[in-house]
Structure 1
């Protein structure tokens, strides 16, 4: 595949993804006031989580697509890099908020481990702002990619495990599948973190990763905002 064709394919995919994720967020917002009382806290935090994801991905995906249209990501590497920083921040906040989704869905209380996961998110955000990340360059140090993604991986997989365990106990199909989608997203993301500098084609795994997040949002929308509405 030529560079031009790959760029156009990426732009089309990214724009389609942004359209769908924002459409889903808007539909969540429109249905939020119709939720049953016991679903309201879950719905509010689920909406906030995917709103954060949409905002961050608009920065990352949108800036990258814009750079392609202007003449290439190499020429506008700073734009691409700061877009990546934006999504790195919001996905960290996404998992902090998702911890609250788990709490309200399954009527849990936070303990030391849960506050540890929140602290990991704060630590990661601090790491993201360190100059060693070199966000303005396309050739960012691989070691810093590993350093900043270790807290996110522990945080995200831990939240997914908590959700999966309680969903299995309570036969909660919606959140069982949301947790499975998160597992799939990490199964795609971890190889990219580890091996993208060796073989850039591994970066294609970001496509199923992105689709997994989109499906998690759709499953949440159907299971909370549609099934959880007050019956007329």
Structure 2
């Protein structure tokens, strides 16, 4: 909704704040989705066991990303943001995604664990 308001009425501090909070919430939600996707994999392929190291990588990287997303230094609600934290949180998110990709590769018998 804030994007529609911005398109119609232009930008102001209230809209900037709403858009920033929306970015923060969507970053956390995407991370939670990867955790859920891990459990969907587990229920879809009950004959496979999640390797402990992969499960740990997914959980630890997800928690680290959520913690990083909560830092006020991210400057979610400003124009300048924080490039350093952006790179860190997205690199950690890539690790989470790679963990989930590995699970789906295992179930496709591409990798034997």
Offset, 1:74: 7.3
C-alpha separation between the residues in 2 aligned to 1:67 and 1:164? 42
How many residues are aligned here?
108
The TM-score with structure 2 as length reference comes to: 0.81
Structure 1: stretches of 5+ with no match in the other structure: 1-61, 171-232
| Among 67, 80, 86, the residue aligned to 2:19 | 80
Structure 2: stretches of 5+ with no match in the other structure: none
Decide whether aligned partners of structure 1 residues 73 and 104 sit closer, same or farther in structure 2, where only a CA change above 3 A counts.
Answer: farther
The aligned counterpart of 2:6 is 67
The aligned counterpart of 1:137 is 78
Residues 34 and 100, structure 2, Cα contact 8 Å, conserved in 1: yes
The aligned counterpart of 1:182 is none
For the pair 1:99 / 2:38, whether they are aligned, the reply is yes
Moved over 4 A (4+): none
Residues 6 and 15, structure 2, Cα contact 8 Å, conserved in 1: yes
| Among 60, 63, 75, the residue aligned to 1:122 | 63
The aligned counterpart of 2:93 is 152
The TM-score with structure 1 as length reference comes to: 0.42
